[in-house]
Amino acid sequence: MSADIQTPPPDHKERLLVQIASYNTALQGLNGVPQDLVDWLSPTLQVSHFLSRERRAADIVAVGFQELLPLYLGLAGLSKSVIESRHEHILAEIEGHAPNKEKYSLVAKMVNGGVALLVYALDEGVARRVTDVHTSYSSCGPGYMANKGAVGVRFRVAGDDGGLGETFTFVCAHLTAHAEKVAHRVADFHHIVGTLLFPPSPGASGHLSSTIYDTSHLFFFGDLNFRLDIPPADSPAAATAVTLMDDSEQLHTLKAYDQLTNEKQRRTAFLGFHEGEFWKFKATYKCIIGAVDRYNPGRVPAWTDRILYATYSDDPSASESNIANILYTSIPSYTTSDHKPVVSLLLLPAPMRTNHQIPVIQLPPSYHASPDPWMRPKRYTGLVLDKVVGITWWLFTLFGMGSAIVGIFNTLLGFGAWRWYSLWSSSLDRSTIV
């Protein structure tokens, strides 16, 4: 596993350690995640000696999935068994491999379509102070369907001094695919900001609902689908990118072509967010299924799977964050998907001591994150379409014994046979009367 591990600051014992893990499992449902998750969900086994002389477990663990299960099941809302199975599996793994056998509690889980998010907190610590837990979702597919979108979890961790403490918001997203659809991905992000809403935090004023930015700490991750725009002069682009993936000395040169980095610099999306050095590990897409580190030769590999973050003490005009990125890497050994999982360990700033107001993220004066007044009609429209398409697709798949195409054929064949029988019966009846 390639990784760039940084030494944390000396005051880290007062700061919460957050672990983010994200994986696009390629619609495989229960078969999409290996049984041994130690490489992905227990990276503290490798870096704990940097954190303290005693091995330290993460205070909060957030695990996100995209394309968790076949799309028709997600749209039809038939994801309960899969998400419950993933929860049991993840909890057993993070507790089984915790540095000191720590125990965790599930704070919340949320699923929408094929996007899912599960958040856990350390029993002997954060879990005891978690309150005001809320979940939300946003769909940004055609007709606001859930084939693309995001889910979110927000909660407050009360201060150990009895104060209001701080709020934590986790967003797992799956944005529009295809290299040329950068504008769609930017629009997806702003749609999520306007429609993935939460109740206002204690002491807050203004809107009846709050956006993802109205929080002390914000984590935005998932298959964001941003690709590499390699100029035609460097073509064939796929061959150029694949070659550079095998050259660790030149890997960083691809950063200049990364769409997400360039959109952030243009300030079209992800304002206020920071990210670790993703170019230190190989691209997470488009990998050959069954191979550890090989790419589809006809496609340009890219870092589609990302983890971004922001915190209240960050200067919106600064390039550095007050969150220390201890680890940011991919897991090449997972070979059942054309994506590789990513994981990050983030050390948050020391908590603010206040009894009167919860600190929130600062944004540039030119940017205003506001709730979408049409959120509810858009959500209900998407829900109806999800159910109609999902259930119809599921029925066709059921009739086709696992194949929707066969199901459609069987349905048409059955309808044709019924129609022929009806006409034949009518003809027979008329001949009998005569």
Are 408 and 319 found together in one domain? no
Residue 352: the pLDDT is 77
Closest CA to 260 of 350, 165, 189, 161: 189
Residue 4: the pLDDT is 47
CB-based burial label for 26 (10 Å; 0-12, 13-18, 19+): middle
Asked whether residue 428 is assigned to any structural domain, the reply reads: yes
Question: With DSSP H G I counted as helix, E B as strand and the rest as coil, what are the percentages for the chain, rounded to 5?
Answer: 35, 20, 45
Are 105 and 230 found together in one domain? yes
Are 137 and 257 found together in one domain? yes
- From 332, 357, 374, the end of a domain falls on 374
In what helix (H) or strand (E) does residue 429 lie, and over which residues does it extend?
Answer: helix 404-433
Residue 5: the pLDDT is 46
Residue 341: the pLDDT is 94
Asked whether residue 381 is assigned to any structural domain, the reply reads: no
Are 335 and 425 found together in one domain? no
What string of DSSP letters covers 203-271?
T--S-SSB-TTSSSEEEEEEE----B---GGG-SHHHHHHHHHT-TTTGGGGGGGBHHHHHHHHTSS-T
Residue 419: give the domain boundaries: 400-433
Residue 403: the pLDDT is 53
Are 427 and 286 found together in one domain? no
pTM of the model: 0.89
- From 323, 358, 374, the end of a domain falls on 374
Asked whether residue 314 is assigned to any structural domain, the reply reads: yes
Query: CA 360, CA 131: separation in Å to the nearest integer?
Result: 17
Asked whether residue 97 is assigned to any structural domain, the reply reads: yes
> Are the C-beta atoms of residues 309 and 9 closer than 8 Å to each other?
no
Are 293 and 414 found together in one domain? no
Partners of residue 61 on adjacent β-strands: 19, 120
Query: CA 304, CA 337: separation in Å to the nearest integer?
Result: 13
Are 414 and 325 found together in one domain? no
Are 137 and 73 found together in one domain? yes
Are 326 and 427 found together in one domain? no
Asked whether residue 380 is assigned to any structural domain, the reply reads: no
Residue 236: the pLDDT is 55
pLDDT in single tens digits along all 434 residues of the chain = 444 444 445 556 679 999 999 999 987 766 667 666 777 887 655 554 455 455 788 999 999 999 998 888 888 888 888 889 889 999 999 999 888 889 999 999 999 999 999 999 999 999 999 999 999 999 999 999 999 999 999 999 998 777 889 999 999 999 999 999 999 999 999 999 999 999 987 766 656 789 999 999 999 999 999 999 988 765 556 667 777 787 777 788 889 999 999 999 999 999 999 999 999 999 999 999 989 888 988 888 999 999 999 999 999 888 899 999 999 999 998 888 999 999 999 999 998 776 678 999 999 988 989 999 999 999 999 999 999 988 887 776 765 545 556 445 444 554 455 555 465 556 655 555 55
* Residue ranges with strand state E in 44-124: 60-66, 104-112, 115-122
Asked whether residue 379 is assigned to any structural domain, the reply reads: no
Identify the residue whose tokens are 């993703």: 278
- From 331, 358, 374, the end of a domain falls on 374
| Number of domains making up the chain | 2
Closest CA to 169 of 188, 192, 187, 148: 192
Asked whether residue 7 is assigned to any structural domain, the reply reads: no
Are 295 and 356 found together in one domain? yes
CATH number, residue 367: 3.60.10.10
Are 416 and 346 found together in one domain? no
Asked whether residue 106 is assigned to any structural domain, the reply reads: yes
Are 313 and 412 found together in one domain? no
Helix and strand tally (H, E) in the chain?
A: 9, 12
> Are the C-beta atoms of residues 304 and 225 closer than 8 Å to each other?
yes
Cβ neighbours around 101 below 10 Å, total: 9
> Are the C-beta atoms of residues 260 and 224 closer than 8 Å to each other?
yes
